[in-house]
Structure 1
Amino acid sequence: MDLPDPYLPGAISLFEQLDKKLLVVLRDGRKLIGFLRSIDQFANLILEDVVERTFVDKFFCETSQGFMLIRGENVELAGEIDDNIPTNLTQVSPEEFRMIEDDFLARNPPKSLKRPTAAEEHEA
């Protein structure tokens, strides 16, 4: 296995991404995009010019969040973003996004997290 020289295990490897644009996925599913300004031994991140990106179908909307400190325990994934790679996604305004989201939810209602009762299972 080829390891970079010097090999930096764990969160410390993000030092190579300082001042680069990162995508950070949080444990609650939110996706944040911003410039990495600092990181510590606990993987706490300081991001600047942050936007929260929300997706529905082939559309996305960005909401400006400004400057953020993200606790390392909330980070699920972090990686550099290359804006030159094309995507098949279309950016829309927050108003358009709400209409698209409402339409999408009307066509695809969320599945209930409630477990069916024995009687409901017997009917099915």
Structure 2
Amino acid sequence: MENISIHDPPPQPGGSSLGRAAAAAAASTAAAAAAPQPQQLPPQMFTTAAQLLDLTDKKLLVCLRDGRKLNGVLRSWDQFANLVLQSTVERIYATTSDPSDPQPKGIYAEQTHGIFLVRGENVLLLGEIDLDKDDDPPPGFEKAEFAAVEKLAKERRAAEKTKEKKKIQKLATLGFEGENLGEIIL
């Protein structure tokens, strides 16, 4: 019994099975030599959760969709890019406005969370942290109490939200519709 594949040339009429097998082997060898071998893709080409394999057991900065920034060691992940971070620290940033100082001063604070599970759809950005620079404060920022920085950050978000609402209302008076502002007609 012959093993014939779709890449083998069609059998010649009147030829023996031994002749056909030899011709098929020669043709497949020639086709294999002529066909380029598939190349391996470099690891940066993967856009799936499999790319997280290189980041396992490394310290990462994870920026979430709600604006939080987490530093932690990636211990586990799954096909949905759900992450398990160990030794997780949440870092928040704010600026203070002192009337006597024309340049606003940046402050930051950290809160320890320990083991943290992050749902993959909430990850906006992630990257490896340089361990040599990890202990240094961010340039232009000084460390402060968590409660004070959190209060300033919340005030800033509330101010931005009211500014955005005013902008949307002004655009609506000019005839522009923002996101989710259209009337529902039943």
Please indicate the TM-score interval, normalised by the length of the shorter structure: 0.7 to 0.9
The alignment-based identity, stated in percent, is: 43
What 5-or-longer segments of structure 2 have no aligned partner? 1-40, 96-105, 174-186
- Is 1:77 the counterpart of 2:125 in the alignment? yes
Aligned pairs for 1:88-107 (under 5 A) are: 88=139, 89-98=141-150, 101=152, 105=156
CA distance in 1, matches of 2:109, 2:118: 21
Aligned pairs for 1:1-124 (under 5 A) are: 4=42, 9-10=46-47, 11-57=49-95, 58-85=106-133, 87-88=138-139, 89-98=141-150, 101=152, 105=156, 109-110=159-160, 111-114=163-166, 115-116=169-170, 118=173
The structure, 1 or 2, with the larger RCO (C-alpha pairs under 8 Å, 6+ apart) is 1
Report if the CA contact (8 A) 2:92-2:150 is conserved.
Answer: no
Look up the equivalent residue of 1:92 and give its one-letter code.
Answer: A
Deviation of the 1:41 alpha carbon = 1.3
RMSD value, Cα: 2.6
More strand by share: 1
What count of residue pairs does the alignment treat as equivalent? 111
TM-score, scaled relative to structure 2: 0.51
More helix by share: 2
TM-score, scaled relative to structure 1: 0.73
What 5-or-longer segments of structure 1 have no aligned partner? 119-124
